[in-house]
């Protein structure tokens, strides 16, 4: 075996590295039924190259789960497609549970490309919805890793703005279970996005608008193309409506809930030669929210000579912004494929209180400014060796500069927390945090035979911020192609999950002593890295050429389980740890595709438990801490049963109808014990019809009519009680939306 100088130098440096944990492939809503390991590794790719660059048959639907065709011509598009294949070979999904959603699947949803990113991911098995757009995968709280074209994008500060726009997506793969060794930091699931490319789409664009109920206006525009060795894709949209955040009441129209959101994304690539490509990817999001009001609340504190305040008149607001840019060099050196990228992400959040109202209801009115700037370096390599082996190795580094500034007004109080003056006092607190993340991995994929694939390796992680923590994590898995239509997988992964960089320090907490914002349980205020052992086993079965069934089972044994909660008035989450955690579950999925009919169905069972809060105890009442110290409790985001599904029917080439649904048995709320009761189950059905009109003078016009929550069922996502639950939230009410789009 002969390594390139670059690969040799890097491989010698990677003493701590990783594995490729093998599990199987769980199907996507409308993918083909080929589930062999080789086909699974290409499931999330961009459009595969055809034998001829102009072959119209090489469309996304036909190429998702097939072996890539050999490139015979080296035109710009074919070279780009070959490079896409090389990039995908750096991080195949063989060995992990994989669910693919293509751009066609997204367009088939009732709101099409206007569907928020979290609603897209809810179509995958085991994904549970929560308030503020949050998602929980397999009983975990958030902890999602987002990758765009193989590049890891650090998460934004916790909030409820959706940063990524589905209009950028060619396909998105949700990877979970026993993940390969190259995946770390955020391990509940990997959201692996392949973006649209001007090299694949040709030259063109689209403009459109979605509008309808609750004052919704959503104009958008996309532009793409390629010329010479350059290719590009740009998209931007603006959204405003009167339901920016979930309504805290069961009423149809929330009070004080307007939002304005702007998103933009761009990707520009240059082919240096047939084996090398330089790309620059960037995005920007600016979201502004009014925080909705819950009328009829009673003030708990007096302010000067004011003793009453109408909670319907509160004027709390929150702004969120995210900006990122990534420069990536990707190509082939000898027989080694590589991608090296450098990037930066800035995330900021500002909470603006109602100064008088927050003081009277909460005893504190704090203007909160949070920011985090992350600089990243990522390098991934892949090369064949021996006869049946593929060696993959790489490293990741991240340097975060985070800050929090709080400008608070609060009231003086006695030792019992009772207000002693109606004249507020001002307190300023601030944090500056430096965090360093370093990781390296090495893994080998061994094709033992045509039917058996073994993946094994090692990952090393080191995290420095509040303290220094590290871990070596073995990963191993196996895939057995039992028959042409049956794939069995099993895997084990050791995980290390560092905490987020947001932190309230001991000094900040002590600054509020003897005020109405004082805490009673100081405890350990430094969050800890989570460590867990993950076991996964499952099977995928094709029935004929139209049906694909999947069944997956998982168990996770956790030490220092991380959870998050909203403990203040701002919609910002804080991290805390349970000493012990255990999570288990089962998932079933089915897909059907036959001519004009496409359908999918998912059903999942999950149970997530925690015991003994060992960090951030200041957020909890003493009696609650005492109970949790000796008893297992459900995590607040634990939902026993979850289901999603949909069907799409093409009446003609120009007319389609569809429906989808979400079902949940309910998240948790307090009962006789913390998180002791499940909220009532919910069911939401959505309907749509689309038609493409053709006008002689105008050309084609795409139209789509969507009815969200068609049955107008009122359901509660959160009741306002439970560990780390700040306020009640209800699901959306019935809404009618029309989309008009013109392609050019």
- pLDDT-derived band at 54, boundaries 50, 70, 90: very low
Q: Does residue 39 register a pLDDT over 80?
A: no
Q: What is the pLDDT of residues 605-652, one digit of tens each?
A: 999 999 999 998 888 888 999 999 999 999 999 999 999 999 999 999
Q: Does residue 34 register a pLDDT over 50?
A: no
Q: Are 684 and 715 in contact (CB under 8 A)?
A: yes
Q: What is the pLDDT of residues 137-180, one digit of tens each?
A: 999 988 899 999 999 998 887 655 578 899 999 999 999 999 99
CATH fold group of domain 5-743: Maltoporin; Chain A (2.40.170)
Burial of 406-427, coded b for 16+ CB within 10 Å and e otherwise, reads: bebbbbebeeeeebeebebeeb
Measured between alpha carbons, how far is 88 from 80 in angstroms, rounded to an integer? 12
Domain ranges of the chain: 5-743
Percentage with pLDDT > 70 across the chain: 87
The position carrying tokens 């079965």 is 541
- pLDDT-derived band at 5, boundaries 50, 70, 90: very low
Give the per-residue pLDDT at 574. 80
Closest alpha carbon to 217 in 744, 742, 738: 738
Percentage with pLDDT > 90 across the chain: 74
What pTM value is reported for the model? Answer: 0.87
Token pair for 210? 């979605």
Q: Are 442 and 393 in contact (CB under 8 A)?
A: yes
Q: What is the mean pLDDT of residues 706-734?
A: 93
Q: Does residue 420 register a pLDDT over 90?
A: yes
Measured between alpha carbons, how far is 563 from 566 in angstroms, rounded to an integer? 11
Give the per-residue pLDDT at 37. 38
- pLDDT-derived band at 573, boundaries 50, 70, 90: confident
Give the per-residue pLDDT at 662. 97
Q: Does residue 73 register a pLDDT over 50?
A: no
Q: Does residue 38 register a pLDDT over 70?
A: no
Q: What is the mean pLDDT of residues 35-41?
A: 36
What region, left, alpha or beta, does residue 675 occupy, with left being phi > 0 and alpha being psi -120 to 50 degrees?
A: left
Q: What is the pLDDT of residues 205-260, one digit of tens each?
A: 999 999 999 999 999 999 999 999 999 999 999 999 999 999 999 999 999 999 99
Q: Does residue 55 register a pLDDT over 50?
A: no
Q: What is the mean pLDDT of residues 440-459?
A: 94
The values of phi and psi at residue 297, to 5°, are: -80, 155
Looking at the DSSP assignment, which residues form a beta bridge with residue 603? 588, 643
Q: Does residue 58 register a pLDDT over 90?
A: no
Give the per-residue pLDDT at 528. 92
Q: What is the mean pLDDT of residues 705-728?
A: 93
Token pair for 396? 């990741």
- pLDDT-derived band at 51, boundaries 50, 70, 90: very low
Q: Are 379 and 481 in contact (CB under 8 A)?
A: no
More confident residue, 712 or 518: 712
Q: What is the pLDDT of residues 181-197, one digit of tens each?
A: 999 999 999 999 999 99
Q: What is the mean pLDDT of the chain?
A: 87
């Amino acid at each position: 075996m002969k390594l390139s100088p670059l690969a040799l130098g890097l491989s010698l440096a990677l003493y701590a590295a990783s594995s490729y944990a093998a599990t199987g492939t769980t199907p996507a809503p409308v993918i083909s039924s080929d589930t062999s390991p080789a086909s699974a590794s290409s499931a999330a790719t961009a459009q595969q190259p055809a034998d001829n660059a102009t072959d119209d048959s090489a469309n996304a639907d036909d190429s998702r789960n097939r072996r890539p065709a050999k490139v015979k011509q080296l035109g710009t598009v074919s070279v780009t497609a070959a490079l896409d294949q090389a990039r995908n070979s750096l991080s195949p999904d063989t060995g992990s549970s994989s669910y693919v959603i293509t751009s066609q699947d997204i367009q088939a949803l009732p709101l099409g490309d206007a569907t928020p990113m979290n609603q897209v991911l809810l179509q995958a098995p085991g994904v549970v919805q929560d308030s503020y757009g949050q998602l929980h995968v397999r009983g975990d709280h958030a902890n999602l890793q987002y990758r765009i074209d193989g590049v890891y994008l650090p998460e934004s500060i916790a909030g409820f703005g959706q940063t990524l726009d589905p209009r950028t997506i060619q396909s998105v793969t949700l990877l979970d279970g026993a993940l390969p060794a190259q995946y770390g930091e955020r391990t509940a699931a990997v959201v692996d996005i392949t973006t649209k490319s001007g090299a694949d789409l040709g030259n063109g664009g689209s403009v459109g608008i979605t509008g309808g109920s609750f004052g919704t206006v959503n104009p958008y525009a996309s532009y793409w193309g390629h010329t010479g060795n350059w290719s590009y894709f740009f998209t931007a949209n603006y959204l405003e409506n009167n339901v920016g955040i979930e309504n805290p009441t069961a009423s149809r129209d929330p009070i004080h809930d307007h939002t304005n959101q702007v998103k933009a994304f761009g990707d520009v690539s240059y082919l240096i030669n047939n084996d090398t490509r330089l790309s620059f990817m960037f995005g920007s999001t600016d979201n502004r929210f009014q925080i909705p009001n819950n009328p009829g609340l009673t003030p708990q504190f007096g302010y000067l000579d004011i003793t009453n305040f109408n909670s319907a008149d509160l004027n709390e607001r929150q702004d969120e912004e995210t900006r990122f840019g990534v420069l990536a060099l990707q190509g082939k050196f000898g027989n080694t494929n590589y991608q090296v990228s450098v990037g930066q992400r800035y995330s900021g959040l500002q909470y603006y209180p109602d100064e008088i109202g927050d003081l009277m209801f909460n005893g504190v009115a704090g203007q909160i400014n949070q920011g985090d700037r992350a600089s990243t370096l990522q390098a991934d390599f892949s090369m064949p060796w021996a006869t049946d082996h593929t060696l993959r190795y790489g490293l990741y580094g991240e340097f975060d500069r985070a800050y929090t500034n709080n400008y608070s007004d609060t009231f003086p109080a006695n030792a019992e927390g009772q207000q002693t003056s109606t004249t507020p006092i001002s307190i300023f607190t601030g944090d500056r945090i430096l965090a360093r993340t370093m990781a390296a991995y090495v893994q080998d994929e061994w094709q033992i035979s045509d039917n058996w694939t073994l993946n094994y390796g090692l990952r090393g992680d080191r995290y420095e911020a509040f303290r220094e923590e590290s871990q070596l994590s073995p990963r191993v898995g196996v895939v057995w192609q039992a028959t042409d239509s049956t794939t069995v997988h099993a895997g084990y992964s050791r995980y290390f999950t560092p905490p987020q960089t947001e932190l309230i320090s001991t000094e900040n907490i002590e600054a509020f002593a003897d005020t109405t914002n004082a805490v009673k349980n100081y405890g350990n205020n430094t969050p800890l890295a989570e460590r867990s052992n993950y076991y996964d086993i499952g099977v995928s079965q094709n029935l004929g050429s139209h049906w694909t069934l999947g069944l997956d089972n998982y168990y996770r044994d956790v030490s220092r389980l991380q959870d998050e909660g909203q403990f203040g008035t701002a919609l910002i989450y804080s991290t805390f740890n349970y000493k012990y955690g255990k999570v288990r579950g089962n998932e079933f999925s089915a897909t059907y595709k036959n001519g004009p009919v496409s359908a999918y169905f998912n059903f999942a069972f999950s149970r997530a438990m925690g015991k003994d809060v060992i960090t951030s105890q200041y957020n909890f009442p003493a009696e609650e801490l005492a109970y949790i110290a000796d008893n297992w409790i459900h995590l607040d985001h634990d939902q026993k049963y979850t289901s999603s599904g949909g069907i799409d029917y093409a009446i003609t080439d120009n007319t389609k109808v569809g429906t989808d649904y979400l079902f949940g048995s309910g998240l948790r709320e307090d009962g006789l014990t913390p998180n002791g009761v499940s909220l009532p189950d919910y069911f939401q059905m959505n309907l749509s019809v689309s038609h493409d009109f053709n006008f002689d003078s105008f050309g084609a016009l795409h139209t789509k009519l969507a009815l969200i929550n068609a049955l107008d069922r009122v359901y509660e996502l959160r009741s306002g009680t439970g560990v780390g639950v700040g306020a009640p939230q209800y699901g959306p009410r019935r809404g009618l939306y029309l989309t008009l789009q013109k392609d050019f």
